[in-house]
Structure 1
Amino acid sequence: MSCSPDGGESWNRIRNPIPSECNVRALTVYPNEPHRLIAGTDVGIYRSDDNGATWQDLEAPVGDLQVWSVTVDPEDSNVIFAGTRPDAFRSRDGGKTWDQLALGVTLPCPVGIPRTTNMIVDPRDHRTVWAGIEVDGIYKSLDGGDNWIHLPDLGPDPFHGDIHGMTLRMSREGTSVHATTPFGISTSTDEGESWELHEFPKFHEADMRSYCRGMAIKPDNPQIMFVGNGDSIPGVTGVIQRTTDGGATWQPADLPVEPNSVVYWFGVHPDVQDVVVGASLYGYVYVSEDGGNSWQKLQKEFGEIRSVALTPN
């Protein structure tokens, strides 16, 4: 893992205590503590209290389950959820102790063991927790994670339930749930009971579909959303799809350099509302400082990027 203290001009490699050879698949910033982060890895869960400069091992008993997602309760920052392979863990005391949660995911799935790629604590009611599974659709808990409901399928193909990114969009019109899959972005306006799919254009005539991964909502304007798109996984090209009307229409961002793989993940933060960071799976980092109207590619390139997080200085 690497950290830049100056907007991407220079980078510091984190080597201790996070092993340099492990995969970091999940990063999240505390909702009410903008300089505190959680990292989920193949070997455990780590926390930084200083914008990523130093880290401590929370000693979560995840073993070899791999951490694919992490989130912090916006109402009680002592409550942390970590999505693993399969199911999830929860801490109620800031990471000192952990409970393993049984979501009830289907075993095996088309890719073997399902991965909990997204977990969201609902800001409307923190007892409601959402989980997106790769590959088993979306689950929801109404009691803080003790019990889980498997929501209706997003489509007829098993890979409609191959959940990659997930967000809750709250606007004057109400709340909508969005999930990305290999087919596109699916939207529910009835708390996940039914879904409408939007497919993006294929990159090549021979492509089976237009693959989607991470997504993000501009913190101060829910009409603006971003979806990471590509020809496949990992793919050889990609694009950042952007909507300014809540998902009614989408346009590809004008990037200065064509991505070398699918655009995999995004970072946004309410304290720097116009800054958006997007990353391709194979290491290109793009930054917009005007809410996605224009983009620059950072000079630094990485071998592989699975997650990015943005914090204010």
Structure 2
Amino acid sequence: MAASARRRSRGASARSRRRAGNGTKSPRRLWFAGALAVAVTAILGAFFWMQANSSEDSARYDALSTLTTADFHSLTISPSDADVLLFGHHAGVLRSTDGGRTWAETNLRSQGQDVMGMAFVSLDGGQLVGAGHDTFYRSADGGQTWDPVTPSLPSTDIHGLAASPGDVATVYAFVVGHGLYRSRDGGESWERATQQQLPGDIHSMSAGPDGTLYLASSSSGVLRSDDSGQTFIGVAGVTGPMVTAASPSAAGVVYAGTQRELMYSADAGATWVQRELPAPGMPLVISVNPVDAMDVVVVVVGPQGAGEVYRSVDGGKTWGDTAD
């Protein structure tokens, strides 16, 4: 009995020592835990620093103005005064005379007076045409007032409108379900420009000074015509464009906007360079100053649905004045 009691006592002492040992961390374990905590803190700090700096970078430019329209269709700059801008949406046209800082309504201000595209058809900035979903308008006073017209087109569901900078009386219209049409008299009469089957999801059209045409198709990318719209070829490098804007004065300079980025090309789309957006969002409408290829205005639609207006004078490298 005594021997048995001694064995139980020794076993209990050993278990007690093991429990005591398990409850005390060795210096090595303490060092490892401390190092891990420091590493985690450093990683989290770096993450939040990058997030903060990313937010600062994406919002470091001040918008000229904010548009709160339901949608964002078209934008054009007057060839006679770069401070005059016209913005088309699903309920008419807004006009700015101070470079996009403030906007005033025109007589097109009702739902359904849709302007998907606009084009100046005179170099003095007085005459222009605008068209959209079953609408076609003409202005004789630089976009201050508009009158409805009935063009000789198979339909007025028009998703692209552009005038040739070399001859502004030559106007192109992409008619949904019917293809590309051309007018040689400022939109008075029209003819079929091509027999080529074009994608149905054309969102915008623009023209360069050498007669080159650019189409933006969300499914087919950027399409280019080098023969006044008779034939088109696909241009690589831009996926899902929503808008194209060719420089009216510099052949080969063209901008393209997608749902995520702004692209710039100086060689008619052979190569592209991504430009930093001035704010998070989608660059849905773009216009290039008719006499300065580096002067570009873009409307970036952010997560809340508002369109912020920005202007760059260096081809999209920087945007307006930097915020303090």
Change in CA separation of 1:137 and 1:290 when aligned onto 2, cut-off 3 Å: same
What is the alpha-carbon distance in structure 2 between the residues aligned to residue 265 and residue 131 of structure 1? Answer: 17
Q: 1:63 Cα shift?
A: 6.0
Query: In 2, are the aligned partners of 1:79 and 1:90 still within 8 Å (CA)?
Result: yes
Q: 1:85 Cα shift?
A: 0.7
Query: In 2, are the aligned partners of 1:260 and 1:280 still within 8 Å (CA)?
Result: yes
What is the alpha-carbon distance in structure 2 between the residues aligned to residue 129 and residue 220 of structure 1? Answer: 17
Aligned residue pairs: how many? 258
Change in CA separation of 1:137 and 1:35 when aligned onto 2, cut-off 3 Å: same
What is the match of residue 228 of structure 2?
191
Higher Cα Rg: structure 1 or 2?
Answer: 2
What is the alpha-carbon distance in structure 2 between the residues aligned to residue 10 and residue 92 of structure 1? Answer: 30
Uncovered stretches (5+) of structure 1, i.e. residues with no partner: 1-6, 15-19, 107-113, 202-209, 231-237, 301-313
What is the match of residue 33 of structure 1?
81
For the pair 1:224 / 2:253, whether they are aligned, the reply is yes
What is the alpha-carbon distance in structure 1 between the residues aligned to residue 167 and residue 128 of structure 2? Answer: 15
Change in CA separation of 1:93 and 1:219 when aligned onto 2, cut-off 3 Å: closer
Q: Compute the RMSD of aligned alpha carbons.
A: 3.8
Q: 1:32 Cα shift?
A: 0.3
Change in CA separation of 1:195 and 1:10 when aligned onto 2, cut-off 3 Å: closer
What is the alpha-carbon distance in structure 2 between the residues aligned to residue 242 and residue 46 of structure 1? Answer: 27
What is the match of residue 149 of structure 2?
100
Equivalent residue letter for 1:264:
L
What is the match of residue 242 of structure 1?
264
The structure with the largest strand share of the pair is 1
* 1:274 alignment partner, one of 277, 282, 294: 294
Q: 1:213 Cα shift?
A: 1.7
For the pair 1:9 / 2:29, whether they are aligned, the reply is no
Equivalent residue letter for 1:119:
L
Identity of aligned residues (%): 21
Q: Deviations over 1:254-300 (max 9, x none)?
A: 64899655x433243256653445555546978765435x4579999
Q: 1:13 Cα shift?
A: 4.9
For the pair 1:162 / 2:162, whether they are aligned, the reply is no
Equivalent residue letter for 2:167:
D
What is the alpha-carbon distance in structure 2 between the residues aligned to residue 122 and residue 35 of structure 1? Answer: 21
Uncovered stretches (5+) of structure 2, i.e. residues with no partner: 1-59
What is the match of residue 184 of structure 2?
142
The structure with the largest helix share of the pair is 2
* 2:121 alignment partner, one of 73, 83, 96: 73
Q: Deviations over 1:36-80 (max 9, x none)?
A: 222323333343333345544432497624222223233343322
Change in CA separation of 1:189 and 1:100 when aligned onto 2, cut-off 3 Å: same
TM-score by length of 2: 0.63
